[in-house]
Amino acid sequence: MTWKVAVANRGEIAVRVILACKELGVRAVALHSDADARSLAVRLADESCRLGPTPARLSYMDPERVVEAALSVGAHAVHPGYGFLAEDPRLARLCQEHGLVFIGPNADAIEAAGDKIMAKKLAQKAGLPVIAWAKVDGMESDLLSKADQVGFPLLVKAAGGGGGRGQILVESPEGLMPAIQAVHREAAQVWHNGALFIERAVTSGRHVEVQILADGQGRVVHLGTRDCSIQRNRQKFLEEAPAQDLPDSLSEQMGWSACSLARSLGFVGAGTVEFLVDRQGHFYFLEINPRIQVEHTVTETVTGFDLVKAQLRISRGEALWITQDQIHPRGHALQARLYAEDPSENFLPSSGLLRRLKIPEGPHIRIDSGYEEGDEVPAAYDPLLAKITVWGEDRSEALMRMRQALKRLVVLGVKTNAELLANLLADAKFRAGAVDTNYLERRLDHLIRQPIKPEVLAAALGVSAGTDAVRDAEANRNPWALLVDWRNGPNGIAAPNEEGKTTLHITGQTIAVSYRRTGRNSTVIRYQGRQDKVILAPVAPGIYQARCSGRGGLLYRLEQPDGTWIAYRGKTYLVDFPQELKATVVTSSNGDVEATSPRRSRLQFAEDPSILRAPTTAHVVAVAVQPGQEVMAGQTIAVLEAMKLEVPIRAERSGRIARLATQVGQSIQRGQVIATLELPPDSS
C-alpha cells in the first residue's frame, strides 16, 4: 500500500517535504489556504486539498480543519513542517484520535517542549545549566520584584512562543509592563496560551543549537552544532554549521546535553536544542524545538544526512539506522534567508507579484523556495522567499561562494533583504567571526545605509515614459529595435548629450543627481561629491549590460504603476521618479502606444499628516483609540500585523480622531485609510 502524507504547511518547507516524499515513493497531498491555491507546493504535490480562507487562523492554524482535510483525502500521516501547528499538541492529539500518524513527537512531548516554562524545569531536572528566569504572574509590584531578581536587561517571553516571535527585550523597569502587554496579546492570539516568563538577557552571547534525531526506541543522536547568532528582532537571519570557533570539548558537552534532554522527554523525530554561549564559554539551555527547523539545511549540507526523509522513515516505525560515531560533519555551510521585506523601512514586509525571479545556481549551492517567477507573494504569511545554502571546504570558501551567489540573484516585484545580506557578508567583523546575538542590531545602520551604485542611478534616469513597454512592443515586431540609440519621448530613453538635474527616491534614499549624456548608451553621473561614467547597453527587453569603473553585470529594469523596479548585482531597488519623469503608457490590444498621461508619485500619498494610511497590506490586530479621542504626536493609533511583523501606526501630529476607518480583525490594503485626524488650526 502506498503511504500518503498530508503536508499541513506552505512555502519552501511544504515544497521540501513534498520532494522528500517523492524520493521515498510516498504520495504527498498539499493542504492549502485560498491564497496558496496556485502555489508551487500545490503544483508539485500529487494531490491538493483546500483547508480554508487565507487567514492562517482559519486554515493552517486550525487543527480540526487540518485533520478533516487529511482524512478526506485518505492520508495516513500529517507532516506539520515548521511554524503554524508544528508545536501545537492539539494537532498531534487529534491525529492520534483519528488514526493518523503525526510526523513528530507525541502530544505530551510537544506540550513539554513547547511550553518554555515546563521545558526549563525539565532541563534543570536533567542537569542542564539554565539562565536566571521567573514566571510572570501576580501584581505589578511582584513582577518588578521578580525582574530585579532576574536582572536587567531581560527578555519577556511567551511560554508558547517560538520562531523568534513572542519575546521583547526590556532594558529598564519602565519598559516592563508595556512589553508584557504586547507579548501577552501576541501569545494569546497566536498560540492560545497567555503564560509568560522573564529571563535574563545575555547581550553579548552567541546562539548555538544542536540538531538531534530520535527514533522513540531509545536511540538518540546529535548531528553537530549550528551558529544562529546573526538575528534581527530575535529572528534568525543567517545561519552556519558548524558553530565557528567553538572548542570541541564544548561542542561535545552540548551535544551530550541535548541527547540527554531528548531521552528524558521520550522524544521522537527531528528536533533542536538551543543554547546561549557567553563570552566566558559557559552555555545555558534556552529551549527545545520539537520540529524541523528553517536552518536544517546547513546541517544536512555538512553531514550529508537528509533530516526530512529521516522524519518520514522514523514515523513509519524504522529504528535509527545511524550511530553517533558514524556522524562526521565536513566543511562549512552557510544559509541566507531571503525575505520579501524592506530593511530601509524598518523591515516592512513587501508583498506582490514576482515579475522576475532568478535564483543563482552552481556547484555547492542549494536553493529552497516556495515560489517561482509569476507567483504572488501574499501579505498574510511569513515573508520568507527562499533559503540559499552554500558549502565550502572551510568558512572562508563558504563566505565567498555565498557572496558570489547573491550577486547573481534577480528579484523584481517585491523588495528583499538581499543587499543587507551582501553587506553583512562583506563586513570585516563578521568575516572575522566576532559576532553575538546583538551584532546585526549594532551594525544595522552601517550595513543598510550603503551608497547606491551609479549604474542604478543611470538606469533610474534612463527611464522615461514607459520605455520598457514600448521596447517590448517594438521588439516583438523587430528585434533590431534593441540596437537604437537612446531617444527622447515615449519611444526611447534620452538623446545623447542631454543633461540636467533631478532628485531620485530609491528604496528609502533621496539622492540629488546631475547627469550628462556623452554618447551611445553612456552617461556621466554626478552625485554626493563624486562623478562616474556609466555604460548601459540594451541586451534584451528590460535587460542591460552595465559597466562602470571596471565593474559590470546585467541590470534588469521593469516599470510598474508603483514605481520602477531595478535589479543589479543581486540587489533590488524600487525607484519613485520625480514628477517631470513620470508617465503612464496606454497601449492598444495589438501593443501599439496610444497615449501617455502623468502618474502620481507613490510618495505623495503619505504627505497629509491628518490621514493615517496602512504602509503595507496587513491585518489589524489592535485599535488603541476611539472616535473623538484626543491624541498626542507619536501615540499609537492601531497595530497591524504583516508577515509575522507587528507594525504600530502612530499619529504624526497631535489632534482629535475625526474618523476611525478600521477595526480589529480587518484585512487592509497598502494605502488604505486607518484613521483621519482633526488637527489644531495652528498645526504645521
Residues 296-341 have pLDDT tens digits of: 999 999 999 999 999 999 999 999 999 999 999 999 999 999 999 9
DSSP element (H, E) containing 276: strand 268-277
- Whether the per-residue pLDDT at 563 is higher than 90: the answer is no
Closest residue by Cα to residue 59 from 75, 83, 76, 27: 83
Residue with the larger pLDDT of the pair 644 and 600:
644
DSSP string of 240-253, one letter each residue = EESPTT--HHHHHH
pLDDT interval class at 186 (50, 70, 90): confident
pLDDT interval class at 203 (50, 70, 90): confident
* 407-427 CB burial, b ≥16 within 10 A, e <16: ebbbbbbbbbbbbbbbbbbeb
- Whether the per-residue pLDDT at 472 is higher than 90: the answer is no
- The pLDDT score that the predictor gives to residue 30 is 98
- Whether the per-residue pLDDT at 290 is higher than 70: the answer is yes
In this structure, the dihedral spanned by the alpha carbons of residues 418, 423, 426 and 429, taken in order and rounded to 10 degrees, is: -130
- The pLDDT score that the predictor gives to residue 250 is 96
- The pLDDT score that the predictor gives to residue 603 is 36
Ranges 212-216, 356-360, 650-654: which has the least confidence: 650-654
DSSP element (H, E) containing 474: helix 467-477
- The pLDDT score that the predictor gives to residue 652 is 87
Q: How far apart, in whole angstroms, are the C-alpha atoms of residue 471 and residue 634?
A: 47
Q: How far apart, in whole angstroms, are the C-alpha atoms of residue 121 and residue 127?
A: 10
- The pLDDT score that the predictor gives to residue 671 is 79
Q: How far apart, in whole angstroms, are the C-alpha atoms of residue 254 and residue 256?
A: 5
Q: Please state the rounded mean pLDDT for residues 242-253.
A: 94
- Whether the per-residue pLDDT at 586 is higher than 70: the answer is no
- 3-state secondary structure string, 151-171? CCCEEEEECCCCCCCCEEEEC
Helical H runs in 376-466? 395-407, 418-426, 428-431, 439-448, 454-461
Classify 597 as helix, strand or coil: strand
Contacts of 68 (CB under 8 A, 6+ apart): none
- The pLDDT score that the predictor gives to residue 481 is 43
- Whether the per-residue pLDDT at 98 is higher than 50: the answer is yes
DSSP element (H, E) containing 339: strand 332-339
Q: How confident is the prediction for the chain on average, in pLDDT?
A: 87
pLDDT interval class at 577 (50, 70, 90): low
Ranges 220-229, 392-401, 500-509: which has the least confidence: 500-509
- Whether the per-residue pLDDT at 81 is higher than 70: the answer is yes
- The pLDDT score that the predictor gives to residue 478 is 44
Q: Is the peptide bond before 578 cis (omega within 30 degrees of 0)?
A: no
In order of 140, 358, 456, 603, the CA distances from 567 in angstroms are 51, 10, 8, 21
Helical H runs in 82-172? 89-97, 107-114, 116-125, 140-150
- Whether the per-residue pLDDT at 236 is higher than 60: the answer is yes
In order of 224, 284, 302, 485, the CA distances from 327 in angstroms are 8, 24, 10, 61
Span 377-395, pLDDT tens digits: 998 899 999 999 999 999 9
Ranges 143-152, 266-275, 425-434, 471-480: which has the least confidence: 471-480
- The pLDDT score that the predictor gives to residue 589 is 36
Q: Please state the rounded mean pLDDT for residues 526-552.
A: 93
pLDDT interval class at 19 (50, 70, 90): very high
Q: Are 462 and 523 in contact (CB under 8 A)?
A: yes
Classify 288 as helix, strand or coil: strand
- Whether the per-residue pLDDT at 583 is higher than 60: the answer is no
- The pLDDT score that the predictor gives to residue 666 is 83
Q: Please state the rounded mean pLDDT for residues 555-582.
A: 81
Span 595-639, pLDDT tens digits: 333 333 333 334 588 899 888 778 788 898 999 999 988 889 998
Ranges 188-197, 348-357, 444-453: which has the least confidence: 188-197
- Whether the per-residue pLDDT at 492 is higher than 80: the answer is no
pLDDT interval class at 137 (50, 70, 90): confident
Q: How far apart, in whole angstroms, are the C-alpha atoms of residue 56 and residue 83?
A: 11
Q: Please state the rounded mean pLDDT for residues 531-549.
A: 94
Q: Read off the C-alpha cell for 461.
A: 534616469
Q: Please state the rounded mean pLDDT for residues 30-59.
A: 96
pLDDT interval class at 251 (50, 70, 90): very high
- Whether the per-residue pLDDT at 514 is higher than 80: the answer is yes
In order of 79, 266, 585, 667, the CA distances from 414 in angstroms are 30, 44, 22, 20
- The pLDDT score that the predictor gives to residue 499 is 83
